[in-house]
């Protein structure tokens, strides 16, 4: 039996659920570049992005049965796995500790600026934990990761108007928390 050179989305999902290695190779060959780009935008480190990409494809292989086509396209589902793995890595204790061990430039003025920014971020991150998870994610993507509202709508697979409304509501909640 010959293997197809291309798959429809449904054929690919079925083959992956049957643990077809050729389908997995096809999936990796056709989607790894796009997923790697998303991961790299979040973590800004090629070595770390390589590790996360490997973890993402392992998770896709292990969790393909949980994919529900009625909730969105396969790529969107994989994109969410990649985004979540990237964000989880950045939030992990081991990553935070590795960042503490980075060499800081000798410029004293630069050091004081970094300290002020980090102190501000720590306080703001604590306040963000009071937000609903869907609001916190959007604020994180918009203000800490630098994504546009349009990009967030694509990443989260929700309408642009919903993104704007949720971000506005989150900012109003933050304003109340900061009073």
Give the orientation angle of helix 74-91 with respect to helix 46-63, to 10 degrees.
130
Q: Write down the pTM of the prediction.
A: 0.53
**Contact status, residue 67 vs residue 74, Cβ threshold 8 Å:** yes
> Angle at the Cα of 150 (from 88 to 148), degrees rounded to 5?
65
User: Of the residues 50, 82, 102, which one is the last residue of a structural domain?
Assistant: 102
Query: Which DSSP category does 158 fall into?
Result: S
55 and 119 within one domain: no
Indicate whether 56 and 140 sit together in one domain: no
27, 60 Cβ separation under 8 angstroms: yes
Per-residue pLDDT of the chain in tens (179 residues, 90 and over written 9): 455 678 999 999 999 999 999 999 999 999 999 999 889 988 989 999 999 999 999 999 999 999 999 988 999 899 999 999 998 898 875 555 555 555 555 444 444 344 333 434 446 667 778 888 888 888 888 766 767 888 889 989 999 999 999 988 888 887 787 76
Indicate whether 95 and 116 sit together in one domain.
no
Helix (H, G, I), strand (E, B) or coil at 147: coil
H/E segment holding residue 139: helix 133-139
Range of the domain at 74: 1-102
CB atoms within 10 A of CB 65: 9
Query: In terms of domains, do 42 and 54 share one?
Result: yes
Q: Per-residue DSSP letters for 58-116?
A: HHHHHHGGG--GGGS-HHHHHHHHHHHHHHHHHHSHHHHHHHHTSPPPS-HHHHHHHHH
One domain, residues 54 and 113: no
CATH of the domain at 121: 1.10.10.10
């Amino acid at each position: 039996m010959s293997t197809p050179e291309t798959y429809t989305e449904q054929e690919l999902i079925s083959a992956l659920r049957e643990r077809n290695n050729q389908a997995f190779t096809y999936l990796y060959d056709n989607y790894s570049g796009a997923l790697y780009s998303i991961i790299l935008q979040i973590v800004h480190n090629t070595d770390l992005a390589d590790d996360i990409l490997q973890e993402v494809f392992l998770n896709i292989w292990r969790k393909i049965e949980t994919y529900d086509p009625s909730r969105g396209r396969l790529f969107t589902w994989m994109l969410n796995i990649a985004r979540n793995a990237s964000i989880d890595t950045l939030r992990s204790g081991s990553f935070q500790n590795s960042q503490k061990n980075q060499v800081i430039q000798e410029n004293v003025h630069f050091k004081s600026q970094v300290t002020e920014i980090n102190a501000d971020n720590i306080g703001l991150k604590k306040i963000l934990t009071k937000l609903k998870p869907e609001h916190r994610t959007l604020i994180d993507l918009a203000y800490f990761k630098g994504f546009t509202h349009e990009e967030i709508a694509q990443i989260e697979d929700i309408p642009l108007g919903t993104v704007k409304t949720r971000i506005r509501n989150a900012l109003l909640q933050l304003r109340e928390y900061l009073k």
